[in-house]
């Protein structure tokens, strides 16, 4: 697998990461055996930049990775996150905490579940508007000094938060949604703030939560508890309207001789040497298909053509349900 440097402060990581979230929650019923097979295949393919969070499950996704990696922790560059506070009795309920004592408490839980004594990249999952980011990052920086964490990251932080955080401690990566139908980092100034500070952009949901692959044709096919049932882009008339985007992706992919999902990933890879997509899957066959995206090379003229066809506002509907939008770009 080709590698890419994770910003100025980070090491080389696989140019495609693996989003592990869907193995435990949000995108329909998972199967532990297939999830483990997917993780094993990722190791074989050299896809070793793995992404999880204490919020996924909650907790069970970290446990899955911890079990799978036991005895070979050093094979992956492991990223996890803290800051979204879940209530085990009410899966829909969410809080946010960036309090220093919460940071210290959270890292201990993640280390225990991941069965490791260090985390390669520790992200603040959502910025807590009630706590100055300097205080949160200060507590995260202490974890680096203690050897519990190697690199620091933020997720869905605003340009202002990124600049403030980078003054406290070098920030290795910003994780934000970035894809053919979500170009916010370009328009909100977060990508520019990253570039000023040598911070990599880790692009989450690069396949548009599966939509850009063309595999999703009817919202009725989602499992009852699938998060996409309440995501505005996948509901009501928006779903039908957004299918027009997929048709365009399919056309570009056919011309290029690849699958729509590979085209979507190749575009993210081509958008900058400081961007690393982390497509998510819980299936070996999707992982293998996605790995093929690294062979799809898009030149500047092709990228410009695709950019013009998918301008920043091409998707219909917010990318999160209204109760979650407020924590974005904080
Ligand atoms: N920081 C944050 O706030 C945040 C938010 C969301 C996600 N993330 C991270 O980013 C990772 C990736 O994002 P994501 O999982 O939301 O979205 P994604 O990568 O855009 O899409 C994942 C969905 O696409 C499907 N899929 C993957 N490859 C496919 C293929 N080749 N053909 C057809 N369908 C395919 C998966 O299906 P299966 O599930 O059936 O395999 C899954 O439903 C997550 O796993 C998580 O680690 C972070």
Judge contact between 245 and 172, C-beta under 8 A.
Answer: no
What was the pLDDT predicted at 60?
95
Strand positions, DSSP E, 239-325: 275-277
> What does the mean pLDDT of the chain come to?
96
Which residues, 6 or more positions from 186, have their beta carbon under 8 angstroms from its beta carbon? 312
Is 89's pLDDT higher than 90?
A: no
Going by DSSP bridges, is the β-strand pair 49-51/3-5 parallel, antiparallel, or unpaired?
unpaired
What was the pLDDT predicted at 91?
75
Which residues, 6 or more positions from 115, have their beta carbon under 8 angstroms from its beta carbon? 66, 67, 69, 70, 73
Active-site hit among 56, 123, 227, 320: 56
Judge contact between 86 and 58, C-beta under 8 A.
Answer: yes
Q: Is 281 in the pocket of ligand 1 (CB under 6 A)?
A: yes
Please check whether residue 289 lies inside any domain of the structure.
yes
Tell me which of 26, 280, 325 to substitute to probe ligand 1's pocket, judged by most ligand atoms within 8 Å of the beta carbon.
Answer: 280
Please check whether residue 308 lies inside any domain of the structure.
no
- Residue found under tokens 């960036």: 98
* Torsion from C-alpha of 96, 8, 158, 111, nearest 10 degrees: 0
Q: What is the band of 30 on the pLDDT scale with cuts at 50, 70, 90?
A: confident
Taking only Cα atoms into account, the Rg of the chain, rounded to an integer number of angstroms, comes to 18
Please check whether residue 243 lies inside any domain of the structure.
no
Q: Collapsing DSSP states into helix, strand and coil, what is residue 36?
A: helix
Domains: count for the chain: 1
Which atom of ligand 1 sits closest to the CA of residue 282? 41
Active site residue 56: yes
The pair of three-digit structure tokens given for residue 286, joined into one six-digit string: 């999707």
CB atoms within 10 A of CB 268: 22
The C-alpha atoms of residue 299 and residue 57 are separated, in whole angstroms, by 39
Q: Is 126 in the pocket of ligand 1 (CB under 6 A)?
A: no
Q: What is the band of 92 on the pLDDT scale with cuts at 50, 70, 90?
A: confident
* CA 42 to centroid of ligand 1, rounded, Å: 15
Please check whether residue 12 lies inside any domain of the structure.
yes
Please check whether residue 16 lies inside any domain of the structure.
yes
Q: Is 57 in the pocket of ligand 1 (CB under 6 A)?
A: no
- 187-217: string of b/e by CB count within 10 Å (b at 16+)? ebbbbebbeebbbbbbbbbbbbbbbbbbebe
Judge contact between 70 and 38, C-beta under 8 A.
Answer: no
* CA 280 to centroid of ligand 1, rounded, Å: 3
Q: Span 218-227, mean pLDDT?
A: 91
Structure confidence by residue, pLDDT tens digits, 237-266: 999 999 999 999 999 999 999 999 999 999
Q: Collapsing DSSP states into helix, strand and coil, what is residue 251?
A: helix
The DSSP secondary-structure symbol of 252 reads H
Q: What is the band of 88 on the pLDDT scale with cuts at 50, 70, 90?
A: confident
Structural domain harbouring 182:
3-207+270-297
Judge contact between 46 and 14, C-beta under 8 A.
Answer: yes
Please check whether residue 142 lies inside any domain of the structure.
yes
Structure confidence by residue, pLDDT tens digits, 210-219: 999 999 999 9
Please check whether residue 319 lies inside any domain of the structure.
no
Q: What is the band of 158 on the pLDDT scale with cuts at 50, 70, 90?
A: very high
Q: What are the CA-CA distances from residue 276 to residues 1, 142, 257, 319 (Å)?
A: 13, 27, 23, 20
CATH classification of the domain holding 198: 3.20.20.100
Q: Whose CA is nearest to atom 48 of ligand 1?
A: 204
Q: Is 233 in the pocket of ligand 1 (CB under 6 A)?
A: no
Q: Is 51 in the pocket of ligand 1 (CB under 6 A)?
A: yes
Which atom of ligand 1 sits closest to the CA of residue 289? 31
Closest CA to 158 of 136, 130, 135, 191: 191
Q: Is 24 in the pocket of ligand 1 (CB under 6 A)?
A: no
Q: Whose CA is nearest to atom 37 of ligand 1?
A: 281
* CA 209 to centroid of ligand 1, rounded, Å: 5
- 112-128: string of b/e by CB count within 10 Å (b at 16+)? ebbbbebbbbbbbbbbb
Q: Is 232 in the pocket of ligand 1 (CB under 6 A)?
A: no
What was the pLDDT predicted at 33?
97
Please check whether residue 38 lies inside any domain of the structure.
yes
**Is the omega angle on the peptide bond into residue 225 within 30 degrees of 0, that is, cis?**
no
Q: What percent of the chain has pLDDT over 90?
A: 92
């Amino acid at each position: 697998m080709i590698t890419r440097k994770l910003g100025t402060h980070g090491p080389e990581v696989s140019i495609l990461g693996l989003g592990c979230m869907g193995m435990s929650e949000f995108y329909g019923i998972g199967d532990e055996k297939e999830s483990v097979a997917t993780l094993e295949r990722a190791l074989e393919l050299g896809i070793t930049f793995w992404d999880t969070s204490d919020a996924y499950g909650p907790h069970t996704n970290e446990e899955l990775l911890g079990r799978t990696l036991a005895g070979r922790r050093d094979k992956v560059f492991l990223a996890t996150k803290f800051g979204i506070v879940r209530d085990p009795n009410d899966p829909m309920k969410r809080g946010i905490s960036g309090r220093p004592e919460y940071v210290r408490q959270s890292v201990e839980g993640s280390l225990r579940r991941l069965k490791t004594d260090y985390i390669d990249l520790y992200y603040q999952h959502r910025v807590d508007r009630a706590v100055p980011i300097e205080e949160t990052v200060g507590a995260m920086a202490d974890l680096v000094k203690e050897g519990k964490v190697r690199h620091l990251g933020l997720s869905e932080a605003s340009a202002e938060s990124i600049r403030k955080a980078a003054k406290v401690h070098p920030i290795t990566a910003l994780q934000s949604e970035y894809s053919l139908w979500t170009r916010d980092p370009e328009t909100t100034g977060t990508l520019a703030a990253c570039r000023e500070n040598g911070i990599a952009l880790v692009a989450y949901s690069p396949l548009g939560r599966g939509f850009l692959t063309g595999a999703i044709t009817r919202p009725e096919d989602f499992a009852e508890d699938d998060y996409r049932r309440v995501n505005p882009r996948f509901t009501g008339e928006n779903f039908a309207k957004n299918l027009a985007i997929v048709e365009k992706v399919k056309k570009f992919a056919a011309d290029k001789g690849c699958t729509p999902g590979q085209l979507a990933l190749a575009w993210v890879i081509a958008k900058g040497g400081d961007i690393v997509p982390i497509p998510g899957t819980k299936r070996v066959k999707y992982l293998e298909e996605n790995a093929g995206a690294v062979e799809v090379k898009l030149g500047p003229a092709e990228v410009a053509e695709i950019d013009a066809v998918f301008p920043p506002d091409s998707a219909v509907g917010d990318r999160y349900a209204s109760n979650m939008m407020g924590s974005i770009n904080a």
